Chain A
Amino acid sequence: MNNDLPSTTRGFCGRTRREFLWQTGAGFSGAALASMLNQDGFLEAQENRADGTPWENPLKARKPHYPAKAKSVIFLYMYGGPSHIDTFDYKPNMVGMDGKTVDVKTFGRGGHRNKGRIVEPRWKFKQYGECGKWISDLFPNLATCVDDMAFIKSMTADSPIHGSAMLQMNSGKILSGSPCLGSWVNYGLGSVNENLPGFVVMLDPRGGPISGAKNWSSGYMPATYQATVMRAEGTPIFNLTPHGNPKPGLQRDVLNALQAYNAEHLDQRAGNSDLAARIANYELAYKMQTTAPEAVDLAQESQQTMELYGINESRSASFGRQCLMARRLVERGVRFVQIYSGGNHNDANWDAHGDLEHNHNLHAGETDRPIAGLLKDLKERGMLDDTLIIWGGEFGRQPTAEYAKGSGRDHNSYGFTMWMAGGGVKGGTEIGTTDELGSAAVDDRYHVKNIHATILHLMGLDPNQLSYFYGGLDQKLVGVEEVKPIQTLLA
């Protein structure tokens, strides 16, 4: 075990006493304090007392368990559940079967069924790349990146209902209240850029996903590890802009006065690390007001890049901007970025219960260019090697129709497809199969837990070791039973 991992404090709620002696000796003025705080890494520089209960910046960068393949993750979350047999899981035998009734057991929002009317895949498939994988016409641009992509075509999840299934994809549990994947990554590795949040979520302009903030909560871990929602337009982070558009220099003056009061207060309370940390955090917040907008300022990007991400086209502009923001954030050391394709309810996301063609054309159309652009851009900049891309929703969709009429498909957690690319993943590969209809995974079946284990593993964290003590138990993202990463797809 690596000693740099956060201690799983035996205190309840992980509370520790954070005590350290302020190392500056004599008292100091607000101005001196401000200049000292302005040095990068101020929090890291604090010396700890060797007393077993040192003050520790909870987001201090930590060494992984073993050398990491990926430094950052970008999780492209296809909210609602894209249909695998219409995208990446090619089912040639279904062609010509449209409308026929088959015996097939399904379980979705409409409950358990034993037979159904086949809705054959609505898009044509073609082979792409050197690997010759089949991809549907929904993703003409993304398909050109296929040699960098690794598919898991035998995914399974515990629930075919959005609420619990999304919680499982994001936090490993179907019950709400557990920390999300991005929280675990930041808990395990800390942040290498204290001026930006370590876990960022970007939402679809049509709305958040159901259950809202539960999908990026730190659950039973402290709020330090929860995601920060970042916006592509307007103020990127909540509360980032000073109130009432103050004149240049004004906020600094106000802050200096505040820090002078606070410094004096601290001076009479030597040894109170919380007070010192709070003073430092004002300076961090102040800096963040400049660094965060800069990090997501797309005006610094070339026209060519904007086009690469599809930002020049109205339908893909929004997701394209978010993908480009993700690249810029990852460049600056942000550990975990999650972007939602789809928001709100029904056809505002991939939840194609009614008109499958309308729905998937819309959402694939919005994301195809941006995702291809992201992969190509990262590759060209040499960043794809240590940036792990994950694509998928909370489940897939059924091979049969949900209703008597129409092409809408109900949810399917018995079998679906996800793909990964970049950081430590072997491109142009795949593992697992579903049956001929894509109704269920049959060979080399994997569970959401295996995806989580794979992500942690590639980030250099042992999924079966990374734990947080809560509720009488060493809690793990992957649960108490040992879970293996999907080795076959790793480079």
Chain B
Amino acid sequence: MTPTKFRILKIRPSLLFCLVLVSSVPNLAAAAEDDSFFKTKVLPVLKENCFECHGGSPKVRGGLVLTSKEGVLKGGESGAVVDLESPHSSLLLEAVRYEAYEMPPSGKLPDESIAVFEKWLELGLPYEGDYTSKDLATAVMAPEVNETNKQFWSFRPLSRPLVPALEHTDWIRDDVDHFIYAKLAEAGLKPSNEASKTQWIRRVYYDLLGLPPSPSEVRAFVQDSSPAAYEKVVDKLLESPHYGEKWARHWLDLVRYAESNSYERDGTKPHVWRYRDYVIRSFNQDKPYDQFLTEQLAGDELDRVTPESIIATGYYRLGRWDDEPADPKLAKYDDLDDIVATTGQTFLGLTINCARCHDHKIDPIPQADYYSFLSFFENIRRYGVRSNDTVVAASVREIASKEQKAAQQTEIEAHEEEVADNNRKLEAFLKSVKNDFQPVEHEDFKHEMNRIPLVEKRVGSVINQEQFDQFVNLEKQRKQLKRFRPSALDSALCVKEHGSAPPKTHILIRGNPHVPGEEVQPAFLSILSPPEPQVSTPKHGESTGRRLALARWLTDPENPLTARVAANRIWQYLFGRGIVRSASDFGFQGTPPTHPELLDYLAAELIEGGWKLKPLQRRLVLSASYRMGSAMQPDAYDRDPANDLFWRYESRRLTAEELRDSMLEVNGSLNTQKMYGPSIFTQIPAEVLAGQSRPGSGWGNSSEEDRRRRSIYIHVKRSLVDPFLAAFDAADTDNTCPVRFVTTQPTQALALLNSEFVNEQAGIFAENLRAQGGTTEQHVRTALSRVLQRTPTSDEVQRGTDLINRLKAEYDMESDEALRNFCLIALNLNEFMYLD
């Protein structure tokens, strides 16, 4: 989708190596007299160089047809190409002279051919014949914004459907079940039998917390025969602080959350973890979705700006950042496109980004709508300009109040003094080193990742080992000072604008930032018949207020998409797939809802419930639909193999994070106590670090205690992903991810059997079991009940003890190691990794 780039000027060495011009410049004047000038001079050049892409073959480039006079006069997507009033300033001539577009792209025409074009235009464009390909593809007409298209299911205004009335309804537990049952009944199918209590509690723990229930929690639930047993579990889970850790992960996938910038340096984003914490807290507090959305898009433009609402705008800073773009203007619009794509898909379920270069080919979204949408973001300052200081200037803000700062004045001063002292010492030390720098190294040294290697190179020449060690210590101290600052200096990664003056936004022809077209004003998507944006400048005068206007429209109950998209995601994350499977594409190419009335019902409930998620989630997990088992029903499978009608619950594999967290949980070592704060670093094996240009660069060490925290706290570095999470389909962070892949590959089996990480977990598991005393049989039984969250059968226990005995007898293995091998198997079980 990157628009065709073009360079303004093409350059040739001129002084020394002038091309010797072929001297046979044709006698143009004489030829011009002749009517056949076009046929003898122009046509051959056109045929040879232009027709193939401009009318002579089925595919036309740039909308420009040169195979007929009509086509030449009509021009292309960049507008008119000939100006017969002043022929010499025609775009056509600029293009062949390589002054604007470089045409033909394979190489500049000889001067005599360019002269032919000049003369042709001077003569008023004589043209004979039509050479247009008969198969010329009639451009696929982009769908129009019209009344018919406005009636598309997702664009229609939201209305609350009636709950289907059913006769025999023993099965029903909630209104949502009516919608499911009605469709099944219509197809002559029946919902699957209820899942067992052990299956259900496992499912609900993972879906709400991302963690397994402990054997005692399972036991308590199974033994609780009171009618409220299910409710009790659900209420407890929704109140758990770990609920936010699970649901935040879904959100972070959507906003392509990462903590580094990609590209050569892949630098770390300052304070970005506060955004992750904000998301976790928002879910835990059950913050209304409209507020959650508004804070992220415009938390700095609210009447009451809080540290939290500033942190929320970190939303705009989570993407890639090329700190040395070849074409800065293109980079600006690439960044904005990233925001349009993420915002459009995440909140509206529309791929507005497909209308960057031309009208959307599938949905009724004209190109002008793309730029009108982009204009809400046009005034945002770019993430930074190369160095870290510029990132701080453009994207970081202190969040403490004046009172807080005053209260910590002494502490702040002491900190600043330490920073200054460290800086003085570093500067003094670096003097001699910098004198030795090559010019290129001065530039390199500005980047964190290069500082130590550049100094280390000089051990033995400019400095000795001892001096180098001192330097490393100073660097450590510098990093510590940066990381641990008085809380009154707390800062957030956030959005900033260029001021309150509204910027101009132009349509960019073919998405090319160097070819601005008509100016557009902020406007919402025309297919949704929206109101005019009500933009008012915030009191602080630091931004335009446009983003708040956008957020207000998105959260307007009249907006047909926002609630539908959000309700669909809630369903998706509980039932394994959305009612609309293409959860971020509610357009013409998306998959239509399997239960449109149910979707609208849920969306209406969401709005009426004040946009709160938890009440809806509570109802859904307590519904009969959610209680269904996942077992096969051959006749239903024959009729509805894709389970479109939800005749059974969809079995699913644990996500990468759930799998890692569960391994730590079942072996007794997961650190759930510590929540929030700067991200942690797992131990990444040297073989994986070797893929970095500087192995280990940008990856730190965390304490044992920190390494045992939940996966959501692992540092997300774009160019270096924890290999265990990567193997199990963690979301790629360059683009928004609404649905994770679930791949099955031999590399996963290798990771589970052979990796350091899993083997270490198996060891801890074995140790933990032994510490509780008991026999081998008891160890096996406990291990299986922890990973399976049910009581194992005696055969299953027997198989485990048999294996342990065999390993001891046949391989002369110590008991501890034999138990560890069994624990490894336990962590590899399909039943551990899949939910029924």
Interface residues of A (CB under 8 A from B): 10-15, 17, 19, 21, 49, 51-53, 58, 93, 97, 100, 102-107, 109, 154, 158-165, 173-177, 203, 207-214, 217, 219-220, 222-224, 228-229, 231, 235, 237-244, 246-247, 249-251, 253-255, 257-258, 260-262, 264-266, 269-272, 274-275, 277-279, 281-282, 284-286, 288-289, 343-346, 353-354, 399, 402-403, 408, 413-414, 435-437, 439-446, 470-473, 479-482
**Interface residue? B692 (CB, 8 A):** yes
CB-CB nearest in chain A for B457:
A346
Q: Which of A19, A240, A286 is the one whose CB lies under 8 Å from B642?
A: A19
User: 1/0 per residue B440-454: CB within 8 Å of A?
Assistant: 100110000010010
Q: Which of A14, A208, A413 is the one whose CB lies under 8 Å from B693?
A: A208
A223 to B747, CA, bound (A): 10
Contacts of A275 in B (CB 8 A): 830, 834
**Interface residue? B26 (CB, 8 A):** no
Contact A272 B651 (CB under 8 A): yes
Interface residues of B (CB under 8 A from A): 1-2, 4-5, 9-17, 59, 61, 105-108, 262-266, 320, 322, 324-327, 334, 341, 345, 351, 353-354, 357, 362-363, 438-440, 443-444, 450, 453, 581-585, 587, 589-591, 630-632, 637, 641-643, 651, 653, 685, 687-688, 690-695, 718-721, 723, 726-727, 729, 732, 734-735, 737-751, 753-756, 759, 796, 799-800, 802-803, 806-807, 810-811, 813, 821, 824-825, 828-831, 833-834, 836
Contact B739 A471 (CB under 8 A): no
Contact B741 A10 (CB under 8 A): no
CB-CB nearest in chain A for B758:
A243
Contact B9 A105 (CB under 8 A): yes
Contact A203 B690 (CB under 8 A): yes
Contact A258 B106 (CB under 8 A): no
A402 to B443, CA, bound (A): 14
Q: In the complex, what's the smallest C-beta–C-beta distance from A465 to chain B, in angstroms?
A: 13
Q: Which of A13, A203, A260 is the one whose CB lies under 8 Å from B740?
A: A13
Contacts of A446 in B (CB 8 A): 106
A358 to B193, CA, bound (A): 74
* Known A210-B264, A242-B754, A440-B11: A265·B749 in contact at CB below 8 Å: no
A313 to B439, CA, bound (A): 34
Contact B11 A414 (CB under 8 A): yes
Count chain A CB atoms within 10 A of each CB in B631, B641, B807, B836 and give the residue with the most.
B641
Contacts of B754 in A (CB 8 A): 239-243
* Known A207-B695, A266-B830: A257·B263 in contact at CB below 8 Å: no
Contact A19 B830 (CB under 8 A): no
A481 to B60, CA, bound (A): 10
In the A-B complex, the 3 residue pairs with the closest CB atoms:
A472-B351, A177-B734, A105-B11
A233 to B375, CA, bound (A): 54
A100 to B266, CA, bound (A): 39
Contact B59 A10 (CB under 8 A): no
Contacts of A210 in B (CB 8 A): 263-265, 693
Contact B326 A219 (CB under 8 A): no
A262 to B444, CA, bound (A): 53
Contacts of B265 in A (CB 8 A): 163, 210
Count chain B CB atoms within 10 A of each CB in A203, A269, A408, A443 and give the residue with the most.
A269
A212 to B723, CA, bound (A): 13
A214 to B106, CA, bound (A): 30
Contacts of A274 in B (CB 8 A): 651, 653, 742, 744, 834
Contact A222 B632 (CB under 8 A): no
CB-CB nearest in chain B for A194:
B746
Q: In the complex, what's the smallest C-beta–C-beta distance from A340 to chain B, in angstroms?
A: 10
Contacts of B802 in A (CB 8 A): 257
CB-CB nearest in chain A for B360:
A472
A106 to B746, CA, bound (A): 48
Contacts of B584 in A (CB 8 A): 12
CB-CB nearest in chain B for A279:
B830
A408 to B587, CA, bound (A): 53
Contacts of A472 in B (CB 8 A): 345, 351, 353-354, 362-363, 585, 587, 589
Contacts of B637 in A (CB 8 A): 19, 21, 271
Contact A479 B831 (CB under 8 A): no
Contact A176 B16 (CB under 8 A): no
Q: In the complex, what's the smallest C-beta–C-beta distance from B454 to chain A, in angstroms?
A: 10
Known: A231-B687, A239-B754, A472-B585. 14 other contacts (CB 8 A): A11-B582, A49-B641, A163-B324, A174-B2, A222-B729, A235-B687, A254-B821, A254-B825, A261-B829, A265-B829, A274-B742, A278-B830, A439-B12, A472-B345
A238 to B722, CA, bound (A): 13
A251 to B262, CA, bound (A): 40
A359 to B829, CA, bound (A): 52
Contacts of B363 in A (CB 8 A): 472
* Known A208-B690, A213-B720, A222-B741: A437·B829 in contact at CB below 8 Å: no
Contact A13 B738 (CB under 8 A): yes
CB-CB nearest in chain A for B825:
A258
Contact A261 B326 (CB under 8 A): no
Contact B732 A217 (CB under 8 A): yes
Contacts of A105 in B (CB 8 A): 9, 11
A113 to B746, CA, bound (A): 51
Contacts of A436 in B (CB 8 A): 13, 16-17
Contact A104 B264 (CB under 8 A): no
Please name 22 pairs of A and B residues whose Cβ atoms are closer than 8 Å in the assembled complex, sorted by A: A15-B742, A52-B641, A102-B13, A161-B325, A164-B263, A173-B2, A207-B692, A211-B264, A222-B743, A228-B747, A229-B687, A231-B687, A253-B803, A253-B811, A261-B825, A266-B830, A281-B745, A435-B17, A437-B17, A440-B12, A471-B1, A471-B341
Contacts of A442 in B (CB 8 A): 12, 107-108
* Known A12-B584, A163-B322: A265·B830 in contact at CB below 8 Å: yes
Contact A211 B262 (CB under 8 A): yes
Contact B729 A223 (CB under 8 A): yes
A37 to B736, CA, bound (A): 37
